[in-house]
Amino acid sequence: MTNALSTPGPIATVFLSKLAENWWRLLLRGLAAIAFGLIAFFWPGITLLSLTYLWGAYVLADGVLSLWAAISGEGGDTSSRGWLAVSGIVSILAAAAAFFWPGLTALVLLMFIAAWAIVIGVLQIYAAVQLRQVIEHEWWLIISGLLSIIFGIAMVAWPGAGALAVIWMIAWYAIFFGCLLIGFSFRLKRYKRD
């Protein structure tokens, strides 16, 4: 479905160009999310400490890849990559907290993961709004952002769920989120300049 908007603005065009050049980094983020989800799903008996470290490693990888994509862009408007930088910083701070305070209670870890998912979801919806003028099917990014927000809200609303249910919920979220990022990365690849 093509938007009936006038020609896209220069910021949106630069934004799309930089994302398309680095489409494979979104693909890596999606693959990392799926790998995390599968590990959490197939080994549900892991302890809270192991889950904390596993989740910390995942968000560290996500944060580093996001920052890499934001920083490595050459020229252009740096504000168009700002959402990637903020997303990367939030993820790296979340990973640091998971590594430096692994003895967090299940409830605190749950709230921490929920807050991270909500912030990342909002940032992804913002990115989709910025891209809607220059690409079709930006809904991949909107859906992944909404999924992140819904996941975070559900974790806040039902914190008393058992450890197994929490692990499975996190695993399903990560797998679905990863699939959406992979789908979006292949859409971006179409816009890559030769």
Does residue 7 lie in a domain region?
no
Does residue 194 lie in a domain region?
no
Does residue 3 lie in a domain region?
no
CA distance 107 to 183: 33
Does residue 160 lie in a domain region?
yes
Higher-pLDDT residue of 121, 52: 121
Range of the domain at 70: 14-189
Taking the mean position of all CA atoms in its chain, how far away is CA 125?
11
Burial class (CB in 10 A: 0-12, 13-18, 19+), 31: middle
Nearest to 127 by CA among 35, 22, 31: 22
Both structure tokens of 61:
């990888």
Mean pLDDT calculated for residue range 17-36: 87
Percent of the chain at pLDDT exceeding 90: 15
* CB-CB contact of 125 with 111 (8 Å): no
CA distance 62 to 44: 22
Give the pLDDT score at 4: 46
pLDDT band at 2 (very low <50, low <70, confident <90, very high): very low
- What is the C-alpha R_g of the chain? 17
Both structure tokens of 95:
């990973």
Domain count, the chain: 1
Mean pLDDT calculated for residue range 83-100: 87
Nearest to 116 by CA among 33, 186, 187, 184: 33
Highest mean pLDDT among 18-22, 25-29, 38-42, 129-133 belongs to 25-29
Does residue 8 lie in a domain region?
no
Does residue 99 lie in a domain region?
yes
Does residue 136 lie in a domain region?
yes
Does residue 32 lie in a domain region?
yes
pLDDT band at 100 (very low <50, low <70, confident <90, very high): confident
**pTM for the predicted model, two decimal places:** 0.54
CA distance 20 to 14: 10
User: pLDDT tens digits for 34-62?
Assistant: 998 898 888 776 656 777 788 889 889 99
Q: Domain of 98: which CATH number?
A: 1.25.40
